[in-house]
Amino acid sequence: MSTQDKVQLPSWNEGASKASIFRFLEAVTSKGSATFVPPLDRIAVFDNDGTLWSEKPFYFQLIFALDRVKALAGQHPEWQEQQPFKAVLEGNIGGVLAGGLKALIEILLVTHAGNTSEEFEQIVLDWIASARHPTTGRPYTEMIYQPMLELLNTLQAHGFRNYIVSGGGIEFMRAWVEDVYGIPPEQVIGSSIETRFEMRDSGPVLVRLPKVDFVDDSEGKPVGIHKFIGRRPLLAFGNSDGDLEMLQWTAAGDGPHFMGLVHHTDAEREWAYDRESPVGQLDKALDEARAKGWTVVDMAREWRVVYPWETSS
C-alpha cells in the first residue's frame, strides 16, 4: 500500500484502529489476493448518530422536532395545555422525556408529517442552515467527525460505496448528507413514516402521513440493509447497542469483514459515555466487539482531531 493511501487518514493517530483499517483494505482490494472482493460488492454501512456526527445532549433530529413544535405552536393553541407539547413549549426536556417513547413518537409524527416530501425537505434545509448546537454554538453539520469523513473518502477511493444505515429519519438525513458527507440519497437508509401519492391541480405529490412505516434500529438495521441493498456489507461502523445486529449481520459474511465501533471516550473534545448513557448506550456491543476482536476506536487516544474546524485553526 502506497504512502499516498496511508495519508488519506491524517486525523487518525497511528494505532490499532488505523492499522486494522488498512489491513482490511489491503485484503479486499489487492488484485490476485485470495480475499479480493470485486468493486460492486464493496459495500460499507455507517450508523449516523454518534458514528458520523455527535448525538449529545440528545439526537439532533429530536432537537429539530422540538424546534418544529415551537414553530407550529401558533397553529395549535391546544398544545399550551396538552402533554407532551406543553413540556416542549416550556423548555422542560425532563417533562418530555418523562412521557417515554410514546411521547417522543407523538412529537416525531406531528412534526414530521402533514406536509409533502418536497415541503419537508425544505423545512429540514432551513433548520439545518440556521440552527445552532446548544453547547458548542456550531451548526449541526459542523459537528461531524473529521476522522470518519476521511474514512468515507478513503473507502470511496478504494471502490467502496458508503451507505448510511441509521435509526434517524431517512428524509431528514437525505436533505443534507450529500453535501456534508458526499453520500447520495439512494445510499441513505433510515426510519420512515408512510407516504401517500396524491394528484393535485399543481401535479403529483407524496404526502407524509403520521404513521410509522419502518424503524431502522437494532434488529431493523439488517432488515433495512437487506431490503434496500440486497447485498451483505463488507464493512460496518457503529457506536451503540443499536448497531449490534448490523455488525453481527456483517460479520457473518464469508471472507474478511470489518466491524468497527466509535467509543466515546473524550470528555474534553466531545463527550465520554458508554454503558450508562440513555442516548447512544454502548454496553452489549462493546462486550461483543472485545470478545470477537472487532475494532473499537478509542476516540480520545486514536483521533488527532474530532471536528473539521480543529483542522483549520
236 in Cβ contact with 247 (< 8 Å)? yes
246 in Cβ contact with 47 (< 8 Å)? yes
What's the CA gap between 302 and 15, in Å, rounded? 7
Contact pattern for a copy of itself over residues 35 through 74, marking x by CB under 8 A: -----x----------------------------------
Q: Does residue 101 interact with a copy of itself by CB under 8 A?
A: no
Q: Does residue 192 interact with a copy of itself by CB under 8 A?
A: yes
Residue number with CB closer to a copy of itself (63 or 229): 229
Q: Which residue type is seen at 266?
A: D
Using CB under 8 A, count the residues that bind a copy of itself. 31
Provide the 3-class DSSP secondary structure of residue 154: helix
Element (H, E) at 260: strand 258-263
Q: Which stretch binds a copy of itself (CB under 8 A): 90-98, 134-142, 147-155, 183-191?
A: 183-191
Nearest to 50 by CA among 145, 129, 132: 145
Q: Which stretch binds a copy of itself (CB under 8 A): 56-64, 74-82, 135-143, 193-201?
A: 193-201
Rounded least distance, CB 251 to a copy of itself, Å:
9
What's the CA gap between 69 and 65, in Å, rounded? 6
Element (H, E) at 97: helix 93-98
Work out whether the CA dihedral 22, 140, 105, 173 comes out positive or negative. negative
Element (H, E) at 290: helix 284-292
Residue number with CB closer to a copy of itself (72 or 229): 229
Candidate list 199, 201, 291, 313; residue touching a copy of itself; CB under 8 A: 199
Sheet holding 258-263, edge to edge: 203-214, 188-200, 161-169, 43-46, 235-238, 258-263, 295-298
Site for a copy of itself in 110-149 (CB under 8 A): 117
Q: Does residue 170 interact with a copy of itself by CB under 8 A?
A: yes
Residue number with CB closer to a copy of itself (278 or 293): 293
Q: Which stretch binds a copy of itself (CB under 8 A): 27-35, 59-67, 80-88, 226-234?
A: 226-234
Q: Does residue 311 interact with a copy of itself by CB under 8 A?
A: no
What's the CA gap between 226 and 152, in Å, rounded? 21
Residue 175: exposure state from Cβ atoms within 10 A (0-12, 13-18, ≥19): buried
Residue number with CB closer to a copy of itself (74 or 203): 203
Q: Which stretch binds a copy of itself (CB under 8 A): 47-55, 75-83, 180-188, 282-290?
A: 180-188
Q: Does residue 156 interact with a copy of itself by CB under 8 A?
A: no
Candidate list 32, 77, 204, 278; residue touching a copy of itself; CB under 8 A: 204
Q: Enumerate residues 6+ apart whose C-beta is below 8 A from 116.
A: 205, 206, 207, 208
Rounded least distance, CB 194 to a copy of itself, Å:
8
Which residue ranges make up the site for a copy of itself (CB under 8 A)? 40, 117, 170-171, 174, 184-186, 188, 192, 195-197, 199, 203-204, 206, 219-220, 222-223, 226-231, 245, 248-249, 252
